[in-house]
Amino acid sequence: MSQIEARLAELGVTLPDAPAPAANYVPFVTVGDIVHVSGQISQNAGGLIKGRLGDDLSIEQGAEAAKCCAVSLLAQVKKACGGDLSRLVRVVKLTGFVNSTPEFIDQPKVINGASDFLVAALGDAGRHARSAVSAASLPLGVAVEIEGIFEIR
């Protein structure tokens, strides 16, 4: 078990199998020491986390959905590293999409769910550049989708 996985266990998080792509794309592309992970939608063991911020989901529910996206991102990075998560150097950038009403302005608070989780799990290696934007809708009606860029060794 890597040090990262030990920390995840302390946080009560077990990485799931990396989700398979739902269409004609790959879940990640590695270029040199950079892994670009395709957008991961909000889901957990109970299924898809659906809803719209500013309508039927609270900021706290949205942040939890974003955290679930971050867990899936780490699962993809683990797969990209051949199962050895100790190869992860740092999170470089996240781009978060929030299914929200036109009036909703707290997209950053929602994506904080992912950012805060990654810092808790990875320490300073989890700090990253980030964008948090609104979307009129997301695939399958999910609340959040996040893509990420990671440095590996």
pLDDT digits (tens, 9 = 90+) for 64-112: 999 999 999 999 999 999 999 999 999 999 999 999 999 999 999 999 9
pLDDT digits (tens, 9 = 90+) for 14-44: 999 998 888 999 999 999 999 999 999 999 9
pTM: 0.97
pLDDT at 142: 98
Helix, strand, coil shares of the chain as percentages rounded to 5?
35, 30, 30
Contacts of 12 (CB under 8 A, 6+ apart): none
How far, in Å, CA of 52 to CA of 11, rounded? 27
Domain tally for the chain?
A: 1
Does residue 2 surpass a pLDDT of 80?
Answer: yes
Give me the mean pLDDT over the 3-19 stretch. Answer: 95
Domain housing 42: 3-20+29-152
CATH number of the domain enclosing 132: 3.30.1330.40
